[in-house]
Structure 1
Amino acid sequence: MINEVIKKNGITYGIITGVILSLITTIMYAVNLELFIAWWTTLLSFSIFIIIPMLALIKTKTTLKNIFPFKDAFTTYFICALIGLLISVGFKMILFNIIDPSVKDSLLELTVNYLKSTSSKFGVPENSLNEMIENLKKTDPFSIGEQLKGAVVSLFFCSLLGLIMAAFFKSKPTSQDN
């Protein structure tokens, strides 16, 4: 059974993570669609998956009076990341598939243009570029299915990050534990 403090903090900070990521998506949508393909917005979103869960881990460890085994630390992080990811991906699915499905075409065009400009800088052969663009157009990266696939991949990487953070935040064994 999961400790109530771990569950409460994981859920609370997970909701905060999801809301912040959804707000970032909303701002990018409202201000400029090109922000969706900017490298630094990906970095910003990734940093949210570090900072907010870290706050959850700090609060949980403090509340548990520094008795924080690895499993509890990882569980806290995982709950937070899972809920944040579900809220964020759910919001994007609603935005791109219900509220404004036309934005998918604009984002696809921006992505294709970005691929063309960066591929020429790196000397990617034109036939490879064309194949990449065709595959991109076929898959609809903003569809519900592709968003869910992306969520699974993101959850995998969040889990790896969670393992690292849990190792860092776990409490050190005391002499009584030996």
Structure 2
Amino acid sequence: MSDIVKKTGLQLGIVLGTVLIVVSAYIYFVDLKLFTDVWIGMATALGMVVFGCIAALISRKKLGGYITFRESFSTYFITILIGRVMVCLFSVIVSSFVLTPETKVSLKQQMYDFNVKLMNQNLAPKEETEKMVKSWPQYDPFTPSEIITPAVKYLLRDCLIGFLAALVIRNKRALI
């Protein structure tokens, strides 16, 4: 992997992480109702993919117009990894040291209402809804493991999109 790929991925990853931290800070400190907003979640996911693709395109330009699949995906992956790690660390710090217990209760209630609404909209079996309702009091969404686990799952989802993007962005015959 060339230095251009690493440097571009790192630079845009830091920019992405900063943008995600600003959005998260706004949600945590200004408008908690946005915590469960579907459109914010979709915009965040789209933003990550766009940043990754832009990073790959910039790398291709810096490499003289030719980029392999590996270089393209590496740039994309480094960008979204750095961004995801930065916002994850921010969330762990905020939830561990900044949020008051009252705010955590409010956010947990919002999450509960959102999950029940989502399960009802998707016609989930009544048993699954009851199971979620019974287990909810023991669930603590503010532990580091509960913050990191979904972040890893979303990173894997974004990698699948990155594979497709790298296939489109590459312009050499070699796939690896």
TM-score over 0.5 for the pair: yes
2-structure distance, mates of 1:51, 1:70: 17
Relative distance call for 1:127 and 1:13 in structure 2 (3 A) is same
Structure-2 separation of matches of 1:9 and 1:85: 16
| Large movers: runs of 4+ above 6 Å | none
Give the Cα–Cα distance (whole angstroms) in 1 for the partners of residues 12 and 137 of structure 2: 36
Q: Give the drift of 1:138.
A: 2.1
Report the CA distance shift for 1:171/1:126 in structure 2 as closer, same or farther (over 3 A). Answer: closer
CA separation of 1:121/1:11 partners in 2, compared to 1, >3 Å: closer, same or farther? closer
Report 1:1-178 matches (<5 A).
2-102=1-101, 103-120=103-120, 128-173=128-173
Cα-to-partner distance string for 1:126-149 (whole Å, 9 max, x where unaligned) = 654332133333231221011121
CA contact (8 A) 1:89 1:147 kept: yes
Identity %: 24
Distance 1:101 1:3, change over 3 A: farther
Q: In the TM superposition, what is the alpha-carbon distance from 1:154 to its structure 2 partner? A: 1.5
| Contact kept in structure 2, 1:17 and 1:81, CA below 8 Å | yes
* Number of residue-to-residue matches in the alignment: 173
User: Contact conserved, 2:51 with 2:80, CA < 8 A, in 1?
Assistant: no
Q: Which moved more, 1:115-124 or 1:142-151?
A: 115-124
Distance 2:156 2:121 in 1: 31
Report the AA paired with residue 52 of structure 1: F
With structure 2 as the length reference, what TM-score do the two structures score?
A: 0.88
Q: Check the 8 A contact 1:10/1:80 in 2, yes or no.
A: yes
- Alpha-carbon distance in structure 1 between the residues aligned to 2:98 and 2:132: 28
Distance 2:15 2:57 in 1: 15
Letter aligned with residue 135 of structure 2: N
Inter-partner Cα distance in structure 2 for 1:126 and 1:101: 34
**In structure 2, what is the Cα distance between the partners aligned to 1:152 and 1:115?**
20
Whole-Å separation in 2 of the counterparts to 1:158 and 1:125: 29
Change (3 A) 1:161 1:101: farther
Structure 1: gaps spanning 5 or more residues? none
Gaps of 5+ in 2: none
How big is the shift at 1:100? Answer: 1.1
Secondary structure at the aligned position of 1:66 is classed as coil
Match of 1:48, SS state, is helix
